[in-house]
A = this chain, B = another copy of it.
């Protein structure tokens, strides 16, 4: 019953390569049942075959080894299944993004010639009072982070009596955030001067500084907003208008609020030199 197998035999039973088995031993994911102390020969038990098969499955699904370890060391079935379900959910979200990317790529290659460029509007914006959530954000976490942050801001506005909001949902993205794909981001909602958010949480009060902006409306999903950045940024660069400072986005129609993502509307606001428009 408790037969021991060489690493080569175990490889044939599990369909894991010998190199992979040694690696899983090294990282503590799948330890042989026994190791000969003099020769170092690994001995695996037939009872380890089912665990190896599960590991093979989840690794085929690209679950990181640290998570695989959690799965197989899970104290109970619930904890184990939760880890797997979470990974499957992440895979599904990834798949959705993939579909969007494929569609977007097709559109770019097919309609490559004459994509209608949206008009640019120049805007002189005064300083505004806002409630805000500020954080260092990693590029790939931006979507969920923004959703959470705006959710907290909406709760703060909603809890207050009367109409306090003075503008659409918005965010400031630092130059560092674009260049390093990690850096400061500020989600904010403009509010009346006298508004005071209640304590607790990450919600604070800020003054968004006055700026000159070149503004272009992005029509469509967030995943394609680089197109508008490219068009607007090129427009600004070719007219030598560029100024330092964070880029703003105004979420006029959020993707989550419409059925068709093509109906989403985002203003992309590029900082430009003072007086740049009057030249």
Contacts and interface: CB of A to CB of B under 8 A. Distances in A.
Interface of A: 1, 3, 5, 8-9, 11-15, 17-20, 46, 49-50, 52-54, 56-58, 60-61, 80-81, 84, 88, 91, 95, 97-98, 101-102, 104-105, 108-109, 112, 139, 175, 178-181, 226-227, 229-230, 233-234, 237-238, 240, 242, 247
A3 B234 contact: yes
Nearest to A18: B179
Nearest to A173: B12
B237 A46 contact: yes
Contacts of A8: 175, 178-179
Nearest to A229: B13
A98 B102 CA distance: 18
A178 B16 CA distance: 8
B179 A11 contact: yes
A17 B108 contact: no
25 contacts: A1-B238, A3-B240, A5-B237, A8-B178, A9-B233, A12-B175, A12-B229, A12-B247, A13-B229, A15-B229, A17-B179, A18-B180, A46-B238, A49-B234, A50-B108, A50-B230, A52-B230, A53-B226, A53-B227, A54-B105, A54-B108, A56-B226, A57-B108, A60-B98, A61-B102
Contacts of A247: 12
Contacts of A95: 95
Contacts of A53: 108, 226-227, 230
Q: What's the number of copies of this chain in the assembled complex?
A: 2
Contacts of A58: 105
Nearest to A227: B53
Contact of A54 (B80, B109, B181, B229): B109
A18 B177 CA distance: 11
Residue of A175, A233, A240 ringed by the most chain B CB atoms within 10 A: A233
Contacts of A57: 101, 104-105, 108
A67 to B, nearest CB: 14
A13 B233 CA distance: 6
A38 to B, nearest CB: 23
B54 A12 contact: no
A88 B101 CA distance: 11
A226 B15 CA distance: 6
Given A12-B233, A98-B91, A17 B181 contact: yes
Nearest to A15: B226
Contacts of A61: 98, 101-102, 105
